[in-house]
Amino acid sequence: MRRLFLLLPILALLFSAAASGAQAVPAAPMVAAHNKVRSQHGLPPMSWSKSLAKNAGTWADHLAKENNCKMQHAKGAGQGENLYWASAVTWSDGRREVQSVTPGYVVSSWASEEADYDYARNRCRWGKACGHYTQIVWKNSTRVGCAKRTCSDKSQIWVCRYLPPGNWIGEKPY
């Protein structure tokens, strides 16, 4: 019994340390969600990159710690990047909980921008965003790595990085 009491504080310390940094995003569902969108256009599949996931985690940590979980794209990273933010669930009694968000939901949110992309003119419809979608379907982007961070207010910031990067001005994604 004494060993259990000694072990509990150690376990609590380990779990709190893990919760303070970027969290791993399950690779298989994230890649599958990207490839589902890409397959609709006959594009080659993406594969998971541990190094891109690590870079995404570093940026997610930065956004959570230094930017109050506000979305801001990294400058000069040399990688494509998609960001997603999810609010906390707030109950009527004021409690806040982390929202259940899946990789598939994040990617489908980005992919929904397809409705706002005018392929013939290679631009977003007036007043709309479509760059997340075009990064997912950028033909030459073949690797993806992602991470997420739960923020102090229980909101979440998700970061995906891509190589080679997409969204080159004047070029169509596919």
Read off the pLDDT of residues 106-155 as tens digits, 9 standing for 90 and up. 999 999 999 999 999 999 999 999 999 999 999 999 999 999 999 999 99
What span, in angstroms and rounded, lies between the C-alpha atoms of 25 and 29? 9
CB 147 within 8 A of CB 157: no
Q: What is the DSSP string of 99-149?
A: ----HHHHHHHHHGGGGGEETTTTEEPTT---HHHHHHT-TT--EEEEEEE
Pair of tokens at residue 137: 């379907």
* 25 contacts: CB under 8 Å, gap ≥ 6: 53, 103, 146, 147, 148, 158
Read off the pLDDT of residues 4-40 as tens digits, 9 standing for 90 and up. 333 334 333 333 333 448 888 999 999 999 999 999 9
Mean pLDDT within 81-102: 93
